[in-house]
Structure 1
């Protein structure tokens, strides 16, 4: 029986480890300079913990921003929790690393995108964006993000100026 090295899974584990390391540093030292994060995650993941009203508003995925205002960042081996401000309503959330779809720090043009295995079996047509314009705070934003059915490639070009 032939054995294959699962490079895709190994790459995702390494990239999630990078996110954990970055968040642990932010937990200990705070966000340096202009650094901030856009984190898109799967709200249907069984270990995600968000308020019911957020789950109803974002039934598939949500993007959060860690920038000026966040509290109680706790970084663990499997995920992290943080309290963010959603339209003047502080809400604690828990995001497992394997629920993360994208992690972007636009201040340094850095981004990671994770593709789920089931995405490879679907059409190559991207899902059109939904007509939703959430209330956005100056520091923390949320948005429904269209799903992309691209190859398992990390590209920084879309974040360059």
Structure 2
């Protein structure tokens, strides 16, 4: 057993669970509430990603999808999610494991997560291949100035 707590991997798993829970709520209702939209970037080379060959050829390395107004067949599982999205008015099914996700953002509420995989951050003696979460980010969808996000200290909520 390791002599230290692996906070990076614990946070990584917690944030992936957050994504799963949010997607599961959307699956129940079949739509995103209000102005919410999800911008998800994932590693197309991840061995468990499933997508059409012409899409993986077009996006060799990573791909960014947007879930907002039209999506179909959202199926959320413990390991990942399946969804059908439209590419050039052609519906295409995708399967994205949570550990293939590199960014998850909902700009309508200025929420974002970025997951970094760095060889120095991974304990190769461990059977757990997950990388730690690196930082929270706001997506760069355009150059429009945005108000600064508020950083809240957890100490504020401690008793």
Instruction: Report the TM range for the smaller structure's normalisation.
Output: 0.7 to 0.9
Q: Which residue of structure 2 lines up, in the alignment, with residue 17 of structure 1?
A: 17
Structure 2 unmatched runs, 5+: 123-132, 148-159
64-73 vs 110-119, which moves further: 110-119
1:154 Cα offset (Å): 1.8
1:11-160 alignment, distance < 5 Å: 11-29=11-29, 30-118=31-119, 152-156=134-138, 160=146
Distance 1:120 1:4, change over 3 A: closer
Q: What is the alpha-carbon distance in structure 2 between the residues aligned to residue 158 and residue 53 of structure 1? A: 26
Indicate the RMSD between aligned Cα atoms, in angstroms: 2.2
Q: Residue 155 of structure 1: CA displacement? A: 3.6
Taking the aligned partners of 2:49 and 2:74, their CA distance within structure 1 comes to 15
Q: Distance in 1 between matches of 2:57 and 2:120?
A: 23
TM-score (norm 1): 0.76
Give the number of aligned pairs: 132
String of CA shifts for 1:16-44, please: whole Å, max 9, x gaps. Answer: 00000000000001210000100000000
Task: Return the alpha-carbon distance in structure 2 between the equivalents of residues 158 and 38 of structure 1.
Answer: 10
The normalised TM-score by structure 2 is 0.77
Unaligned stretches of 5+ residues in structure 1 = 122-150
Q: Which runs of 4+ in 1 moved over 6 A?
A: none
3-state secondary structure, aligned to 1:12? helix
Distance 1:119 1:57 in 2: 30
Indicate the structure (1 or 2) with the bigger Cα radius of gyration. 2
1:138 matched residue in structure 2: none
Going from structure 1 to structure 2, the CA distance change for 1:158 and 1:53 (only over 3 Å counts) comes to closer
